[in-house]
Each structure stands twice: as C-alpha cells, then as structure tokens.
Amino acid sequence: MKLLKNSMKNIVKHNYLISKKDRQKLNNQNSFLIWFTGLSGSGKSTIANALEYKLYSEGYKTYALDGDNIRKGINNDLTFKPEDRTENIRRIAEVANLMVDAGLIVLAAFVSPYKKDRKNIENIVGRNNFVEIFINTSIEECEKRDVKGLYKKARAGEILNFTGINAPYEAPENPDIEIITDNKTVEESVNEIYKTIKLKLKDD
Ligand code: ADP
C-alpha cells in the first residue's frame, strides 16, 4: 500500500489541449452515463439496446457496455462473490467515466445489486453525468422468462450467488427513472426514458 502511494506521488497530470467540452462540441452532444440496474432477465439489455438504436438513429454517438463485453474482457478475472461484484462495478464505472470524458453517451446494463456500488458509480462519474434507471421486473416474471436458463440452474443449486435466488438485490429507492416492464412494451419503455433524458442530450 505504501509502495502504491509512493508511486502515485510521481504521477503528474499532463495538460492536454483538447478537453471534454471540446469533444462534446465536436460531437454536438452532451456526454453522460445511462445506467440500467435490475434482476437478471428484467430487460436491461433489451431496453438499453433499443434505446441505443433510437439514439444512434438520431445521430448520437453512443457505446453500450454489458456483461458480454466486460466480463469476457477487462473483468475476466472476477467472480460473482460480493467483493468481486463490487470491483466489477467499480471498473465498469471507471471505463464508462473515460468514455463520458471522450464525449460519448454510454449505456451500461448490469445487475449491480448493491446500493453502495451504485453510489460509487455516481461518485466516479459525477451526479450530473449519471442517470440511474431501475428496470423493475418481478422475480416471478424474470424466472418465467428465464432467457438464459440461469434461474433454473440457480434453483438446482448449480449457480452460487445468483441475484434474486441466493444473493440479494437492493432495489434503488430513488432512481431517476423506474420502468415496470410487467405492464410496458419495450417501445413504451424506450419512449419514456427518451422523454426524460431528452433535455440532457444536447451540449449546454
Ligand atoms: P437483462 O439484461 O436484464 O438480464 P435481457 O434484456 O437479456 O435482460 O432479457 C430480458 C428478456 O425479457 C428478453 O428476452 C426480452 O425480450 C423479454 N421481455 C419481455 N417483455 C419485456 C419488456 N416489456 N421489456 C423488456 N424485456 C422484455
């Protein structure tokens, strides 16, 4: 730890000529992070994907982060035990933060079950750059959908630490947007999110 602190002392920030503001201006958009949290199978990736499609179609520069491109790459050393889940979210937030700095609208779809981890994302990217969307789908509905067959495996005891079955999900109390998918189509959900973030999309 001491060694790490000493080496950090020698990191001196270089002043670059191009700022985040410049990149946003060139992209003709604001940049921020749209974070989807909810149970596995709740619809996070489906809705993030449809929202990204809409934004892209309108000329916005976006990037979507999800388990596929993160857990197989930068975080392929992490498991689903609580400490690793925390580290998983921290790294994703740092990656997203760089992308926001690069001038992109980032969509991230992760279960992110712990409140303290989601608070940490907000601290890393900053409150103004963070939109938290709670995809609120009942566990019964997620289990019925069981898109990836994971609930069946978890019930059979083949997966440890599976959120909603044998690991907790701490629902957000004050999300920026809450979507209850049990009574909404994907299109309706996207439109609702779009309406809420519309003013945020353009650089100010
Ligand atoms: P997650 O990313 O939250 O694990 P996915 O998006 O991978 O969830 O899977 C959600 C599944 O639920 C998809 O197969 C999707 O088609 C289905 N689904 C059914 N109704 C809805 C809805 N109203 N909103 C979002 N997804 C829905």
- Residue of 66, 136, 145, 165 with the most ligand 1 atoms within 8 Å of its CB, for mutation: 145
What pLDDT shows up at residue 5? 64
Supply the residue whose CA is at minimum distance from atom 5 of ligand 1. 43
CATH code of the domain containing 110:
3.40.50.300
**Which domain covers residue 148, as residue numbers?**
19-199
| Contact between 60 and 24 (Cβ < 8 Å) | no
In a domain, 11, yes or no: no
49 Cα nearest atom in ligand 1: 6
Q: Is 181 in the pocket of ligand 1 (CB under 6 A)?
A: yes
Residue 115 within any structural domain of the chain: yes
44 lines ligand 1 (CB under 6 A): yes
- Structural domain contains residue 6: no
Give pLDDT, residue 204.
60
Q: Is there an atom of ligand 1 within 6 Å of 185 CB?
A: yes
Number of domains observed in the structure of the chain: 1
pLDDT of residue 6: 66
Lookup: tokens for 162: 């599976």
Does the CB atom of residue 43 touch ligand 1 within 6 A? yes
Kindly state if the Cβ of 103 falls inside 6 Å of ligand 1. Answer: no
* Residue 56 forms part of a structural domain: yes
In this predicted structure, what is the pLDDT of residue 136? Answer: 98
Q: Which residues of the chain have pLDDT under 70?
A: 1-7, 204
pLDDT of residue 8: 76
> Contact 56/137 with Cβ under 8 angstroms?
no
Q: Is residue 118 part of a domain?
A: yes
Residue 4 lies in a domain: no
> DSSP letter string over 152-167?
HHHHTT-SSS-BTTTB
pTM: 0.93
Check the CA dihedral 161-162-163-167 and report its sign: negative
Look at residue 9 and tell me if it is in a domain.
no
Q: How far is the CA of 53 from the centre of ligand 1 (A)?
A: 16
Closest approach atom of ligand 1 to CA 182: 23
In the residue annotation, 19 being an active-site residue is answered as: no
For residue 114, being part of any structural domain is answered with yes
For residue 183, the model assigns a pLDDT of 85
Question: How much distance in Å is there from the Cα of 43 to the middle of ligand 1?
Answer: 3
